[in-house]
Amino acid sequence: MIKKDLLRMLAGFRRFRERFFKEEHSLFDRLSSSGQRPKTLMIACSDSRVDPAILFSTSPGEIFVVRNVANLVPPFESNMGFHGVSAAIEFAVVNLQVENIVVLGHRQCGGILSLFQPQAVKAGGFVAQWMTIAGEAKNKVLAKLPHSDVETLCRECEKESIVISLANLRTFPFIKTAIETRGLELHGVYFDLEQGQLWAFDEAQASFQELTWHER
């Protein structure tokens, strides 16, 4: 018997077919015949509340999305293991020739919370090991705010981990080459889902600045 949640998803797919796929058939016909040509690689969190396509109102084929726990980028490694995130980054940069890479972090990240409350995840498990990538961000925040509460520490670490991922991106040889030869750009963005605010990392000022615009 199919569970109610899956039935709801199937009903959603039917609405997609009726309202979107048929209305935008020319778009899907073009995407299926000529392939994808996204300009941006988006590295986002797996958190179900932060969907890049919805957040930025993008159309199919517009962004190439990689999602993982805490939107982290590991440093480049030359050993040929199973590197899912690195493989996706390589495909986007080398094969798709994207022009931008955006690391999208967010408020209330469970992965970042586990750095300060390790009991929240399985001891010695995959998540705990994965989150060591952001260990430097945690240490930096603790040194800067040694007496702060967990909420404040998490908020700052969520931002600092984006900076770590940007630095790790630059350790990939093919990214360095793309930056130097064809102007590939790297960006860090932070979504505060509590306030509905978007912040961008300003490398010159080494800080996040809120993005504002005039709403109609």
Residue 164 and residue 60 share a domain: yes
**Which H or E run includes 152?**
helix 150-169
215 belongs to a structural domain: no
Task: Give the range of the structural domain holding residue 4, as residue numbers without chain letter.
Answer: 1-35
pLDDT tens profile 80-97:
889 999 999 999 999 999
For the chain, what is the domain count? 2
Q: Are 130 and 112 in contact (CB under 8 A)?
A: no
pLDDT band at 214 (very low <50, low <70, confident <90, very high): low
Instruction: Give binding residues as ranges.
Output: 45, 47, 106, 109
Residue 30 and residue 88 share a domain: no
Residue 129 maps to which CATH number?
3.40.1050.10
Tokens representing 192 are 């505060």
Tokens representing 120 are 């929240």
Share of the chain above pLDDT 90, in %: 81
Determine the pLDDT at residue 205: 94
Task: Give residue for tokens 């990538």.
Answer: 133
Instruction: Give binding residues for Zn(2+) as ranges.
Output: 45, 47, 106, 109
Tokens representing 15 are 């609405």
Residue 98: strand, helix, or coil: coil
171 belongs to a structural domain: yes
C-alpha distance from residue 118 to each of 7, 112, 123, 158 (Å)? 35, 10, 8, 16
Residue 65: strand, helix, or coil: strand
